[in-house]
């Protein structure tokens, strides 16, 4: 993981460094001045890419955060505060952080258009405030003082490039950390992220806070670039244009942010030279954003896809005949030691949806280091039971306990951290992650060797494989491998064999049966494949219409006439007679 992050960071720094040298060496001073604005705008786009591209939230007030950073920078300049412009820019970015957190608070409950309206409202309010107080030094025409080393336009371009590279490299490390993976997980499915112990509120607020800091830095750099600022530099339309371009180019990619900065900076220049209205640029950006959203692919993602295809053609070599490789199983480590006795106990669980009784006083036990099956026809209440145990139901009657401790009042994230982990009927893995990234998200602190061993044990793809390139059946196995790798006291596996062939399902059954011995976890298995259930489970519970109708050893329960009638549609002999 650290090696991959370092490699990506070095690649980003080298690419941007070469680009900066070429620009400085071959472009005239006027174009260097314009390119400086491109990278300042690119920094603002990177901040928006973090919130929108990484975390999946809408922010239409990004230039307001930049305005906070610019205002603080201008104020410190007028006050002749010690430290110089570089320190003032950092302080301006820090000043934008609490503003970002406050704006991020509605994101804890709002999504989509509702969140967009809130952030747009803040941008409009910020416009009004700026129009009232003006920027420090604006009326007196006091220029923001640049550092002596970066006083010229060429020198200031170097400063902006240093800041851009520093932010891009830092984001490479953050994006490949568990925090970065949690942003993508929240974007794809908040419930699945919470099931891995990710705090969804903290993920959202951290994204807004870091984004506000980066945007505030871009505002401080803009203050040093222009010397004096006016409110129009940070008005609401600027934020809307920034969002449109970010959606179109994919600003969460480093080079995508550069491309977006070039569009925002150079398009007005092109329109001016052609004698066309400047509003045409906003129309173009809006159309591009709609196109990207409708196709689900940004310009950067298109470049990556086409570049990967081209690179694969050049890398393709004739297959060499080689001797079969003899694989040796990697050690999985020692199983986790959990409290003996009953790992999970559900007592009198009752769930109502309005007038519908989904579960009626359901009780079941999962002893430590065992596999217990939960079966029943569709609509019997199995998934509702899993949701209640994992903490995804706002209210229910009865009790759920883990190792004797009650779980009532605990959110899904807290239950996951205590050791109640689950999978889903349909995989909810963020496709932007690699297989290894997902395992690290599901099992914090896991070692690389252990990741490889767990994936090999489940016959999953290698850690470097992209989730987007993996078929549905393999994603199911990766989902199971992630929660198993965490070695919690209790695993809730919801139809893990979906998408598997019959032979693969039986093999998975062998693996599930071995989980208590190999990893130390107890398993509650929800499954429709009776052969898998027989192979994996030492005890099963049968639901029908939200009630427990049978419990015991698989062979005994499955041969019961009541179970055969309820689950398999076999009529009782006396009813047939």
Mean pLDDT on 349-355: 91
Considering the domain boundaries, does residue 59 fall inside one? yes
Single residue among 252, 277, 304 that ends a domain in this structure: 304
Question: What CATH number should be reported for the domain holding residue 185?
Answer: 1.10.3470
Per-residue pLDDT tens over the stretch 99-134: 999 999 998 888 888 889 999 999 989 888 887 888
Give yes or no for residue 97 having a pLDDT over 90: yes
Considering the domain boundaries, does residue 131 fall inside one? yes
Considering the domain boundaries, does residue 404 fall inside one? yes
HEC secondary structure over 90-150: HHHHHHHHHHHHHHHHHHHCCCHHHHHHHHHHHHHHHHHHHHHHCCCCCCCCCCCCCCHHH
Give the C-alpha separation, 352 to 360, whole Å: 9
Give yes or no for residue 499 having a pLDDT over 70: yes
DSSP secondary-structure letter at 467? Answer: G
Considering the domain boundaries, does residue 321 fall inside one? no
Give the C-alpha separation, 102 to 116, whole Å: 15
81 plus 148 within the same structural domain: yes
Give the C-alpha separation, 480 to 484, whole Å: 6
407 plus 265 within the same structural domain: no
Per-residue pLDDT tens over the stretch 443-479: 998 999 999 999 999 999 999 999 988 988 899 999 9
Q: Number of structural domains, the chain?
A: 2
Ranges 13-22, 266-275, 361-370, most confident = 361-370
Mean pLDDT on 346-372: 93
Helix H or strand E encompassing 165: helix 153-175
pLDDT at res. 132: 82
Domain limits at 277? 2-304
Considering the domain boundaries, does residue 187 fall inside one? yes
Rg for the chain (alpha carbons), in Å? Answer: 28
267 plus 404 within the same structural domain: no
281 plus 188 within the same structural domain: yes
Pick from 205, 158, 171: nearest CA to 55: 205
242 plus 374 within the same structural domain: no
Per-residue pLDDT tens over the stretch 5-52: 677 788 888 988 899 999 988 889 989 999 999 999 999 999 999 999
pLDDT at res. 3: 60
Single residue among 280, 304, 328 that ends a domain in this structure: 304
Considering the domain boundaries, does residue 470 fall inside one? no
Decide the pairing of beta strands 371-375 and 539-544: parallel
By three-state DSSP, how is residue 572 classified?
Answer: coil
108 plus 158 within the same structural domain: yes
Per-residue pLDDT tens over the stretch 521-548: 999 999 888 889 999 999 999 998 899 9
pLDDT at res. 112: 84
pLDDT category at 62 given cuts 50, 70, 90 is very high
């Amino acid at each position: 993981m650290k090696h991959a992050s370092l490699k990506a960071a070095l690649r980003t720094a080298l690419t941007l460094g070469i680009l900066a040298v070429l620009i400085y060496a071959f472009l005239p001073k006027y174009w260097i001045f314009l390119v400086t604005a491109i990278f300042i705008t690119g920094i603002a786009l990177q901040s928006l890419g973090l919130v929108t591209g990484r975390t999946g939230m809408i922010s239409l007030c990004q230039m307001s955060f930049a305005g906070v950073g610019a205002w603080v920078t201008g104020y410190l300049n007028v006050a002749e505060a010690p430290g110089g412009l570089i320190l003032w820019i950092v302080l301006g970015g820090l000043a934008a952080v609490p503003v970002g957190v406050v704006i991020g608070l509605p994101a804890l409950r709002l999504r989509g258009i509702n969140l967009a309206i809130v952030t747009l409202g803040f941008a409009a309010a910020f416009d009004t405030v700026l129009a009232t107080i003006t920027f420090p030094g604006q009326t007196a025409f006091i220029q923001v003082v640049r550092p002596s080393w970066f006083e010229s336009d060429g020198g200031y371009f170097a400063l902006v490039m240093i800041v851009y590279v520093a932010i891009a490299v830092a984001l490479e490390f953050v994006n490949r950390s568990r925090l970065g993976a949690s942003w993508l997980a929240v974007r794809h499915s908040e419930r699945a992220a919470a099931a891995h112990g990710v705090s969804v509120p903290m993920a959202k607020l951290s994204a807004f806070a870091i984004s506000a800091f980066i945007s505030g830095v871009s505002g401080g750099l803009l203050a040093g670039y222009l010397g004096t600022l006016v409110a129009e530099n940070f008005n609401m339309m600027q934020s809307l244009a920034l969002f449109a371009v970010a959606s179109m180019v994919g600003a969460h990619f480093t080079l995508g942010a550069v491309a977006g900065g070039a569009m925002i900076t150079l398009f007005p220049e092109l329109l001016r030279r052609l004698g066309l209205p400047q509003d045409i640029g906003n129309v173009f950006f809006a159309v591009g954003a709609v196109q990207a959203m409708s196709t689900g692919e940004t310009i950067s993602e298109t470049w990556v896809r086409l570049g990967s295809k081209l690179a694969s053609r050049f890398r393709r070599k004739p297959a060499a005949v080689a001797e079969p490789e003899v694989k040796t199983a990697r050690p999985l480590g020692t199983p986790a030691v959990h409290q003996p006795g009953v790992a999970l106990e559900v007592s009198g669980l009752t769930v109502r949806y309005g007038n519908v009784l989904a579960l009626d006083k359901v009780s079941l036990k999962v002893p430590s280091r065992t596999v217990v099956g939960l079966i029943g026809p569709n609509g019997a209440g199995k998934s509702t039971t899993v949701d209640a145990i994992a903490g995804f139901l706002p209210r229910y009657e009865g009790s759920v306990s883990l190792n004797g401790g009650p779980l009532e009042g605990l959110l899904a994230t807290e239950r996951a951290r205590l050791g109640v982990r689950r999978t889903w009927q349909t995989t909810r893995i963020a496709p932007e992650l690699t297989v290894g990234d997902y395992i690290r998200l599901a099992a914090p602190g896991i070692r690389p060797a252990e990741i490889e061993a767990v994936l090999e044990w489940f016959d999953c793809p290698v850690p470097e494989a992209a989730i987007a390139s993996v078929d549905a059946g393999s994603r199911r196995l990766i989902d199971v491998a992630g929660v198993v790798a965490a070695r919690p006291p209790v695993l809730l596996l919801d139809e893990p064999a979906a998408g598997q062939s019959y032979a693969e399902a039986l093999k998975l059954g062998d693996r599930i049966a071995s989980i208590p011995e190999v990893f130390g976890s107890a398993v509650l298995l929800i499954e429709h494949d009776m052969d898998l259930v027989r192979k994996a489970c030492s005890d099963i519970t049968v639901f029908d219409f939200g009630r427990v109708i049978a419990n015991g050893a698989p062979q005994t329960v499955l041969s019961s006439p009541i179970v055969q009638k309820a689950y398999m549609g076999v009529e009782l002999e006396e009813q047939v007679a």
